[in-house]
Structure 1
Amino acid sequence: MTNFRFLLLLLGTVFILLSCDGGEEDRLNFEDQGREVPEFNADSAYHFIERQLDFGPRNPNSKGHQQAKNFFLNTLQQYAGTRYVYSQDFTAEGYDGDTLALSNIIASFNPQSSDRIMLCAHWDTRPRADQDSVNKDKPILGADDGASGVGVLLEFARLFEGNPPPIGVDIVLFDGEDYGHEGDLSKYFLGSRHWAENPPVDGYSPRFSILLDMVGGENARFPKEGYSMQFAPALVNEVWAIADEKGFDELFISQKGNKISDDHVVVNRILGIPTIDIIRHEVGEKGAEFAPYWHTHNDDLSIISKKTLNGVGETVLELIYNRVNVSD
């Protein structure tokens, strides 16, 4: 608790300062800064995914869920320091009247900076394989749907330790994103909703936020998700332009995607933080179409591609280190 109070005091000052910065156009204005960008290590990101799967399914109230939480806290404290990592614990009601013990994990890098961005992913896994043909009531491993976004962010954290980013970066791992039954959005996005309604720092207002969801599967394609284009088109276009420059145009395809309900919609609508979602999907006439392993027991380590992880990691790192205008 002492460490968290210290973080609140420091970041509270930071966000008061941030509110005096330039307008929305300045906050989402990008250009090549000529800065050095650390090399993304896809092997390391893959290893972080593998470690998560070692705990088994990470659905709320499971043994794997608690083990994963401890792993995230220990790993992020190693890279950010114990003062700058916080577990936002809360509860929610489950379908059977049980109480779900949930935790959002927050880590801050370059905490002295008055200029910040946010990176996020969900770390829980689905408690049921409702899209499978067998064992539909059993939880899934969630290699792509959950672990891949977290794996990329943990690799970023590892890099941030030795290569401090030019801007403040807050990593937020949301819990309870994938708990709900299909069609019942009230039980999805439990962590992001709690975080947005109870922000650890009043007035939290980073320049922008990027959500990573299902960013590690083989043969992935990321069209420009519809809500992202509505909330922060300049950020979307910059990310996709970087990917094109780096030769990842077959991954980040120049196509308008479907509107997908995800954590970024909650963050945008409650806090007004311009947030985009890099999420694998194919554009369908009746809605987004996801990978064949989505919400099945086939979402395991065998479908993870280091090539996909590398494309996402290199693109986002270029944005963070070399495209964001940062005042001295």
Structure 2
Amino acid sequence: MFKSTKWVVAAMASITLWNCGTSTDSSTSEQTTASSTSSLVKAPAFNGDSAYKYIDNQVKFGPRVPNSSAHVKCGDYLVAELKRLGCTVTEQKFTATHYDGSKLNARNIIGSINPQATKRILLASHWDSRPVADEDPTNKKGAIDGANDGASGVGVLIELARVIQQAAQKPSVGVDIMFFDVEDGGNAAVAKDKFTGFCLGSQYWAANKHVPNYTAYYGVLLDMVGAKGATFPKEAFSNQYAGEITRTIWNIAGQLGYSSYFIQEDGAAITDDHLPVNETAKIPMVDIIHLQMNNPTKTFFDAWHTHTDDMRNIDPTTLKAVGQTLVQVLYQEQ
């Protein structure tokens, strides 16, 4: 993610102008939104402890930095696990160019459930981890574990695949689980555009989809969704590009009793993997991302981009709130 304060302020300003100057395409919003939340259908239970284990399994490989052995081994594990759970798996291997000009061996990993379904929902997270602890107060050298920033979203989505595949009643829609690579290696200090080395995997996929002419009704991105007491306000680009879907998800979360996580407030604009999906792939995508409210010095969770972003910060209760909400969203679809 490009998380420069300067960019957030500029993005928020542009969104304010967008809201004042134009109106949303109501026909698109109505077409892509999930079903009414006035009554919730029966959905299987999401297991937060199981999601926690999937996160721990990733972290045990070490930092998943591109061109490292840990990155290769973890990628192989994710592919094998999705296949074991019955997903149709596609590996999109490519060479990414880092902001410093170096070449990175990368792969986006896609696991498809019910691949024959024409109505599809895209669920995503990045699986690489930050190569430098630039926000650590005492030791800025070395890569981080990335338990929350990266692994948490992946763990939730693997558990979601397990829940769906083992359920007696499956959702009628097709689901594509996307693990984007090379998201977290950028450098905002040398910003030349809004990405500055971040979101390379999602940019590549949006311009080179794994299936020709692939589309989805909407997408949901998970980023930093495992910390204790996490708060997920409505991220500003999500409101801009997928406002109706955002409202539907937050309303479902509230009906499930998770309003303390999915708070009914507007958050900052974050350049994240959902932006290429929205702007290049033209698929409305929501970003469920941990943002601190009313804190002028901290935008994200306290251990962000530090060596303390490890398993000590991961809470199965938070994982349950996010995962159960997503499961319910899928089962509301017809």
Secondary structure, counterpart of 1:271 in structure 2:
coil
Rate the CA distance shift 1:95–1:234 in 2: closer, same or farther, 3 A.
closer
* Structure 2 residue 154 is matched with structure 1 residue 150: yes
Identity %: 42
Q: Map Cα deviations across residues 39-75 of structure 1 (whole Å, 9 max, x no partner).
A: 1001100000000011010011111101110000000
Cα distance in structure 1, aligned partners of 2:183 and 2:91: 16
Rate the CA distance shift 1:30–1:104 in 2: closer, same or farther, 3 A.
same
* 242, 254, 265: which one aligns with 1:255: 265
Cα distance in structure 1, aligned partners of 2:133 and 2:174: 38
Q: Any conservation in 1 of the 2:108–2:179 contact (CA below 8 Å)? A: yes
Matched residue, 1:44: 50
* 178, 181, 184: which one aligns with 1:175: 181
How far the C-alpha of 1:165 sits from its partner, in A, is 2.4
* 277, 294, 304: which one aligns with 2:287: 277
How far the C-alpha of 1:162 sits from its partner, in A, is 1.7
Matched residue, 2:33: 28
Q: Any conservation in 2 of the 1:127–1:140 contact (CA below 8 Å)? A: yes
Matched residue, 2:200: 190
Matched residue, 1:18: none
* Structure 2 residue 124 is matched with structure 1 residue 120: yes
AA matched with 1:213? D
Q: Any conservation in 1 of the 2:33–2:248 contact (CA below 8 Å)? A: no
Cα distance in structure 2, aligned partners of 1:284 and 1:273: 31
Cα distance in structure 1, aligned partners of 2:297 and 2:283: 25
Secondary structure, counterpart of 2:188 in structure 1:
coil
* 73, 85, 100: which one aligns with 1:67: 73
Q: Any conservation in 2 of the 1:110–1:165 contact (CA below 8 Å)? A: no
Matched residue, 1:137: 141
Rate the CA distance shift 1:35–1:219 in 2: closer, same or farther, 3 A.
closer
How far the C-alpha of 1:125 sits from its partner, in A, is 0.2
Matched residue, 2:106: 102
Q: Any conservation in 1 of the 2:29–2:244 contact (CA below 8 Å)? A: no
AA matched with 2:261? L
Q: How does 1:175-324 map to 2 (within 5 A)?
A: 175-183=181-189, 184=191, 185-283=195-293, 289-321=299-331, 323-324=332-333
Q: Any conservation in 1 of the 2:232–2:261 contact (CA below 8 Å)? A: yes
Q: Any conservation in 1 of the 2:30–2:244 contact (CA below 8 Å)? A: no
Cα distance in structure 2, aligned partners of 1:128 and 1:284: 27
Secondary structure, counterpart of 1:186 in structure 2:
coil
Cα distance in structure 1, aligned partners of 2:52 and 2:295: 33
Cα distance in structure 1, aligned partners of 2:215 and 2:176: 11
Secondary structure, counterpart of 1:169 in structure 2:
strand
How far the C-alpha of 1:136 sits from its partner, in A, is 1.1
- Of stretches 240-249 and 272-281 in structure 1, the one that deviates more from structure 2 is 240-249
User: Taking structure 2 as the reference length, what is the TM-score of the superposition?
Assistant: 0.86
Matched residue, 1:8: none
Cα distance in structure 2, aligned partners of 1:180 and 1:291: 19
Superposition RMSD in Å: 1.8
Secondary structure, counterpart of 2:217 in structure 1:
coil
Consecutive unaligned residues in structure 2, runs of 5 or more:
1-26
Q: Map Cα deviations across residues 110-147 of structure 1 (whole Å, 9 max, x no partner).
A: 11111111000000000000001233120000000000
Secondary structure, counterpart of 1:262 in structure 2:
coil
AA matched with 1:229? N
Rate the CA distance shift 1:23–1:178 in 2: closer, same or farther, 3 A.
closer
Q: Map Cα deviations across residues 77-116 of structure 1 (whole Å, 9 max, x no partner).
A: 11124xx101100012235543210000001101111111
